[in-house]
Structure 1
Amino acid sequence: MTYAIIETGGKQLRVEPGRFYDIELLAAEPDATVTIEKVLLVQHDGNVTVGQPLINGATVEGTVVRHLRGRKVLVYKMKPKKKTRKKRGHRQEITRLMIDSINLNGSKLTAQAAATTETSASQAPAETTEETASE
């Protein structure tokens, strides 16, 4: 399994290739490719690379799916015995980002590469079991 921990919008987020995430609004049009260079950690096939605080040469590429607004948050302020009340609402602007690949030192770590690695690893022991059974 391949994943990375990135920083965007002042928050840290664990991302995997082939999945989408809702993050703070990015200044990019829908269907545009975005590269995030603030990568804090990358894990690929059991090898963990940790930055101090960032990993040099590591990037995460994603495609902007769409822009939307989050759920409404109500803010209610009241001072007791003073008859002052304020009710406000807020909806955060959000960008839905589809993670395409995680790049580490020029090599792409995609969901397809991880899936083929898992498939080949799961098939290899099955073949050796059949060989030992036939002997």
Structure 2
Amino acid sequence: MTWKDSCDIITSCVNIKGELALYALIKFGGKQYKVVAGEVVLLEKVDGNVGDSIELKDIIFVADEDKKMVESSDLSKANVKGTIVEQAKGNKVIIYKHKAKKGYRRKRGHRQLLTKVMIDEISIGEKKSKAPERAKIVTKKEVKVPTIKKAPTKAVKKVVAKPAKKTAVKSSTKKTTKKSSVSKKSSTSKSKTASKPKSK
């Protein structure tokens, strides 16, 4: 987290009048998040479709300009509601294992499933902090595009002549070369025997 991100968190807890807005600390997926009404939070995978409303129940701390609640009896009155904006995946993390001089190497990638949640409302009993009005979340729908009909085209088949004669020619040339090499060998062996004088 950079200094700019921390500044954004501090300013997001201050409303238009400059007063400290109602905010809460929630626990989700083994992590703690500071949430304010109207803010989008990236949580670990939440079951549901885009546009579904959810209630975040595990609240650790709620703060207002008047009071701060930590005790479980006070937190039971607190409530945080949100809407699923998007189901996404996080950045790829590479897991690499290596043991020296053993030839052991394992490389594996992982992308965490995440859910973007818009915090709609934080309430403590009667006191509520609601998100400002926004455009409704539109789910992705299939849009039918009109297709233009083309005139049917005649399929033209290409006729390719098979090279049957070429294979016959090649095989006949191979036979003639074999015969000529055999005849050469036999002629050389005859000449050798003719040149040697007969011994008595």
TM-score w.r.t. length of structure 2: 0.53
Equivalent position SS for 2:76? coil
What SS is found at the alignment partner of 1:18? coil
Cα distance in 1, alignment partners of residues 74 and 41 from structure 2: 21
Matched, 1:55 2:103: no
Q: Please, which moves more after superposition, 70-79 or 6-15? A: 6-15
Residue of structure 2 in register with 1:30 after alignment: 50
Which of 62, 71, 84 does residue 64 from structure 1 map onto? 84
CA distance in structure 2 between the partners assigned to 1:90 and 1:57 by the alignment = 39
Partner of 2:112: 92
Q: Tell me which structure has the larger Cα radius of gyration.
A: 2
Distance 1:76 1:46 in 2: 50
The residue number in structure 1 matching 2:94 is: 74
Counterpart CA distance in 2 for 1:40 and 1:84 is 44
Once residues 32 and 111 of structure 1 are traced to their aligned partners in structure 2, the CA distance between those partners, rounded to angstroms, is: 16
Percent identity over the alignment?
35
Whichever structure has more helix as a proportion of its residues is: 2
Distance 2:32 2:48 in 1: 20
- Give, in whole Å, the separation in 2 of the partners of 1:74 and 1:80: 19
- SS state of the match for residue 81, structure 1? coil
> What are the ranges of 5 or more consecutive residues in structure 2 without an aligned counterpart?
1-20, 133-200
Aligned to 2:37: 17
Q: How many residues align?
A: 112
Q: Which amino acid aligns with 2:32?
A: Q
More strand by share: 1
| Whole-Å separation in 2 of the counterparts to 1:28 and 1:107 | 28
Instruction: Label 1:62 to 1:71 Cα distance change in 2 as closer, same or farther (>3 A).
Output: same
The range that moved more, 43-52 or 80-89, is: 43-52
Q: Which residue of 1 aligns with 2:103?
A: 83
Q: Residues of 1 paired with 2:47 and 2:103: CA distance?
A: 42
**What secondary structure is seen at the aligned counterpart in 1 of 2:91?**
coil
Tell whether the 8 Å contact from 2:119 to 2:131 is kept in structure 1 after alignment: no
Does the CA contact (< 8 Å) of 2:96 and 2:107 recur in 1?
Answer: yes
Instruction: Give structure 1 stretches of 5+ with no counterpart.
Output: 113-135
Output one character per residue of 1:20-53: Cα deviation in whole Å (capped at 9) or x when no partner.
0100100111101101111111111242111349
- TM-score of the superposed pair, with normalisation by structure 1: 0.77
Q: Give me the whole-angstrom Cα distance separating, in 2, the residues matched to 1:103 and 1:83.
A: 58
The higher relative CO (CA closer than 8 Å, separation ≥ 6) is in 1
1:110, CA displacement in angstroms? 2.2
